[in-house]
Structure 1
Amino acid sequence: MMHQHGIGGWMAKRRLKSPDKVALVHGDGARMTYGQFADATDRISAVLRQRGVGKGDAVAYLGENSPEFLQVMFGAAQLGAVFVPVNTRLAPPEIAHVLTDCGARLLVHDPEFATRVAAAVPAAQPPHVVVTGEGSADRPGLAQLARSTAADPAGHADTGHQDPAAIIYTSGTTGRAKGAVLTHGNLTWVALNCVVDYDVVSTDVALMISPLFHVASLGMGALPVILKGATMVLEKGFEPGRALAQIERHGVTMLSGVPTTYQLMADHPDWASTDLSTLAKLTCGGSAVPPRILNAYEARGLSFSQGYGMTEASPGATSLPPTMTRTKQGSVGLPHFFTDVRITDVNGEPAPTGSIGEIEIAGPNVFPGYHGLAEATADAFTPDGWFRSGDLGYLDEDGYLHISGRLKDMIISGGENIYPPEIEQLLGELDGVTGAAVIGVPDERWGEVPWAIVTVRPGASVDVDTVRAYLDGKLARYKLPKNVVIVDDLPRTASGKVRKADLRARFGA
């Protein structure tokens, strides 16, 4: 008998346990039960298999939140294939890198990304490309193919918790995005952490306003909801007025986002008149919730669970319960139920309570390594198997984690991670630029935005417009510097490294 102990077995279990329960609400209110969801997943799984997808093969998906996104993920999982969600904001060269690096056997994409796919695919050459929706007579889309394909359970593969389920690309400090391999066990345990720490129940209605290609939306949003047999309202994008309307229309109980999304909702004209009485569980990640937003939501009787994590932890590491939002303001909370967190000093020894050191994470939600990067994987773990986050923090006397800074100088803008070396590398190729450093500068709307501090060749004409125009198309737009400052010299250490702390002190206030 076949054993599917990973997420590939979830659809069959949900069809058995709650076939008539509404699983997904999408578009203008279309509803899909778990029975329909499972049946559609089975047909899509057969479509993938007909195109040669089998155990261990990579299936990439470039598209907005939709039933198809989840059906392709679970359909691939049933075959033992590896799901690779692609950030829809990536430029063609970045998409090509993801497809090439994971060795995608098949790419599924929404029609609106056809131009970018056409630019990326020649370099990446996945054997099969399928568009979502109906497609055309000569090139049938996923919906058309699924209707004409019968489910084929015989093609389902044995999977265990140790098998890879997904590869999520996270920009590395060296520039090129690295693929974090998440196993079936990683995704199962992060979902269980959420069920335990966020009290997810089968009667919940979760509004998905964040893109599912982000590991937080996938691992801590969609998967716990499906595990419990709750209902998900899928939004293609985020528009604050529509989000408020959807909360009232569908009796939404759960909402996840970043500080920017919550701020935009609170600032919307419909905020005061929207019925938010069903909302019970708000989770926020990416960066700390500013007091102004806490105040606005507390005035409506709402408070947040805040947390800390990263792609490599699938992504949750800690959570701060709503009851402690004020008592432990500034903290990112306690380790998730099935996860451990420790702080180590420069020698790798446990740091005393209250002492700042590197944050390290262990648990069944922590990934096994980066795809095809043995050296980077080895560097990411301590000799005793803890993941080295690269972030600095301390544990207070009650065991709550506080973030102090970032070893890697990462910028978080509107919940998106931006790694300066990726931008700096390209800036170094721009004619006239002789040196470049990218730092995060506080921004009321986005939390942080990237600024480029550059030195230029005498007589060269370099400004924010020329820099943004040069980078546009090479990088996702959220990575483009919002300002360019020309300086005579970049402050450097004796070894030649730019002293970014000096730059932040000068320009980041």
Structure 2
Amino acid sequence: MLTVGEALHGAAIRYKDKKALVFGEQSLTFTELDNKTNQIARALLGLGLKKGQRVGLLLPNGLDMAEAYFGLAKAGLVGVPINLRWSPDEIRYALMDSQISLIVADKDLRSALSAVENLLPVYYTHLEGEDRARAWEDLVSQADDSPLSLTISEEDPWVIVYTSGTTGKPKGAVRSHVSNLMIALTLVAELGISSDDIGLAVLPMFHVNSLWVVTLSVIIGATCVIYPHRSIHPQHIVDEMNKHQVTYSMFVPTLLSFLADAVEAGKLDAQTLRVILTASAPLDSTLRDRILLGFPQVRLYDIYGATEYGACTVIRHRLNGPLGSVGYPIIGQSIRILDDQRQALPAGEIGEVFVKGPSLMKEYFNNPQATRESFTSDGYLTVGDMGYISEEGLLYLVDRKQDMIITSGENVYPVEVEEVLSRSPDVAMATVFGIPDARRGERVVALVVPRANHTIDVDSLHELAKTLLADYKRPYVIDVVDSLPIGPSGKVVRRLAKQQWLQEHSNETNS
């Protein structure tokens, strides 16, 4: 039996005074991290929280977020990381849906959470001269740092990570201790990372990608540098990589282009980085070859996965090598392609991708119907992606989950944006899709049809989106059109609407 807390403690026994986490000018050794997370566990249990209860985490990247994750693991509590870019309505929904018992939040969010303080305990980090009854550091510092003797199973939930739902409401993917550890261990085996390495967690830690990078690093005794800025800036990433001699990290392709620019301009040490992991969007041959030529030591990998899956497949890119596939199944993973009746399809035939393995989520929290619809009777899980497996055993994706848009590494589901735009009394119909963007990967475009005898004020729709949606979900363009293509089922055919829009705006998108 292995849990996240036990894995951290084991690393602390072996690596003691070695730096485990670095954040700006702050750092924690493995012993300090182990002791601090014992304090967090004891402090929360001392408040009366019981095993299995949920704790909301509204924290930016930093030691606080990492400590909270591991402290909750030792207490048998379940972390619910909240995307700080969400709108107040989106945050409120996730907090209510996950039935949290306590919140740990950044002090800058206090005004936004003032109403919540009357309903459940909220503790804030780094309060200065304010109400110390709400100070997270005071609560933790008063607790004993000795190890706990709780019975926690490897199958117990550790985190619930919300992923935008294709029906408009986010769903909470319940991930166990062992499922997260298996992601870390299989990636270590596939990528050849060891305790001698130094990792960099770039993306926000409320996303699973950075959570897995931090977890992977800690349990094998590698030092993990947590990106110390609230917004991602390419030069800041370069500075951190040079300063700490980072040897591995995960990047979305948008950031890889900036790394290629930096190394070609002589601003980034190309000799240190040896493992790059990329995900979320496909690489083109030009960017792939720029990275491989610019970083002579590097091994460049692409993975396919999801919040619900973990990492499913991996492929190592080589100069002039083939593109298009997301790779072979990762150690321990099994992939099937099934038809609409959930019958297996032969190699080369397109169907829905189903995955089975030790890194899958347990269920969607408080949503048995969605769980039943996503799992087969023999334990295979789908997130709705379409693809096929070649004769060589490589997985190829041909369509993303429900027309999902990926912008700057963030997932946007069109139906979520459409639902918000349709709240306007002037909108009869809306459709949303992504268009290519050299910097972000994709941008969000919305087409809206006015109701009879109504006029749509586009500026008011942008304001509505600003109020109800995270910034990356808001449409870059909202165009008013007379009609949208309708399919036999009476629904808008988003694919055709996108094709028509791209044809009409070909000069703009190609410039």
If the length of structure 2 is used for normalisation, what is the TM-score? Answer: 0.93
Q: Aligned with 1:246: secondary structure? A: helix
Determine the structure 2 residue equivalent to 1:342: 336
**How many Å apart are 1:148 and its aligned residue?**
2.8
Determine the structure 1 residue equivalent to 2:409: 415
Q: Aligned with 1:317: secondary structure? A: strand
2:385 is equivalent to residue 391 of structure 1: yes
Determine the structure 2 residue equivalent to 1:309: 305
Whole-Å Cα distance in 2 between the matches of residues 508 and 283 of structure 1? Answer: 32
Q: Aligned with 2:359: secondary structure? A: coil
Match of 1:67 among 43, 63, 66: 63
- The within-5 A match list for 1:98-113 is 98-113=94-109
- The within-5 A match list for 1:72-91 is 72-91=68-87
- The within-5 A match list for 1:83-232 is 83-118=79-114, 121=116, 127-139=120-132, 140-151=134-145, 153-154=147-148, 156-219=149-212, 221-232=213-224
Q: Which runs of 5+ in 1 are unaligned?
A: none
Whole-Å Cα distance in 2 between the matches of residues 40 and 292 of structure 1? Answer: 46
CA contact (8 A) 1:107 1:129 kept: yes
Q: Which runs of 5+ in 2 are unaligned?
A: 504-511
Letter in 1 for 2:106: D
Match of 2:12 among 11, 15, 18: 15
CA contact (8 A) 1:286 1:414 kept: no
**How many Å apart are 1:141 and its aligned residue?**
2.3
Determine the structure 2 residue equivalent to 1:432: 426
**How many Å apart are 1:266 and its aligned residue?**
3.2
Whole-Å Cα distance in 2 between the matches of residues 9 and 407 of structure 1? Answer: 36
Whole-Å Cα distance in 2 between the matches of residues 453 and 406 of structure 1? Answer: 20
CA contact (8 A) 1:464 1:481 kept: no
Whole-Å Cα distance in 1 between the matches of residues 163 and 459 of structure 2? Answer: 27
Q: State the Cα RMSD in Å.
A: 1.9
If the length of structure 1 is used for normalisation, what is the TM-score? Answer: 0.93
Inter-CA distance 407–133: structure 2 relative to 1 (3 Å threshold):
closer
- The within-5 A match list for 1:328-339 is 328-339=322-333
CA contact (8 A) 1:241 1:270 kept: no
Inter-CA distance 53–236: structure 2 relative to 1 (3 Å threshold):
farther
Letter in 2 for 1:426: V
CA contact (8 A) 1:103 1:126 kept: no
Whole-Å Cα distance in 2 between the matches of residues 366 and 409 of structure 1? Answer: 22
- The within-5 A match list for 1:457-472 is 457=451, 460-462=454-456, 464-472=458-466
CA contact (8 A) 1:130 1:141 kept: yes
Match of 1:287 among 275, 281, 284: 281
**Residues 206-246 of structure 1, C-alpha deviations (whole Å, 9 max, x = no match):** 11111111112212x11111111100111134221121121
Q: Aligned with 1:478: secondary structure? A: helix
2:317 is equivalent to residue 322 of structure 1: yes
**How many Å apart are 1:349 and its aligned residue?**
2.0
CA contact (8 A) 1:105 1:126 kept: no
Whole-Å Cα distance in 2 between the matches of residues 303 and 199 of structure 1? Answer: 10
Determine the structure 2 residue equivalent to 1:248: 242
Deviates more, 1:386-395 or 1:10-19: 10-19
CA contact (8 A) 1:211 1:217 kept: yes
Whole-Å Cα distance in 2 between the matches of residues 46 and 367 of structure 1? Answer: 27
Q: Aligned with 2:382: secondary structure? A: strand
Deviates more, 1:372-381 or 1:70-79: 70-79
Aligned residues: 498
Deviates more, 1:134-143 or 1:206-215: 134-143
Q: Aligned with 1:211: secondary structure? A: coil
CA contact (8 A) 1:356 1:393 kept: yes
CA contact (8 A) 1:463 1:484 kept: no
Q: Aligned with 1:383: secondary structure? A: coil
CA contact (8 A) 1:64 1:236 kept: no
2:6 is equivalent to residue 6 of structure 1: no
Whole-Å Cα distance in 2 between the matches of residues 7 and 426 of structure 1? Answer: 39
Q: Percent identity?
A: 32
**How many Å apart are 1:258 and its aligned residue?**
0.6
Inter-CA distance 266–469: structure 2 relative to 1 (3 Å threshold):
farther
Deviates more, 1:37-46 or 1:129-138: 129-138
Q: Aligned with 1:115: secondary structure? A: coil
Match of 2:396 among 397, 402, 405: 402
**How many Å apart are 1:114 and its aligned residue?**
2.5
Q: Aligned with 1:389: secondary structure? A: coil
Whole-Å Cα distance in 2 between the matches of residues 250 and 75 of structure 1? Answer: 26
Whole-Å Cα distance in 1 between the matches of residues 250 and 455 of structure 2? Answer: 44
2:48 is equivalent to residue 55 of structure 1: no
**Residues 383-407 of structure 1, C-alpha deviations (whole Å, 9 max, x = no match):** 3221022111111222111110035
Whole-Å Cα distance in 2 between the matches of residues 74 and 135 of structure 1? Answer: 25
CA contact (8 A) 2:289 2:320 kept: no
Inter-CA distance 198–303: structure 2 relative to 1 (3 Å threshold):
closer
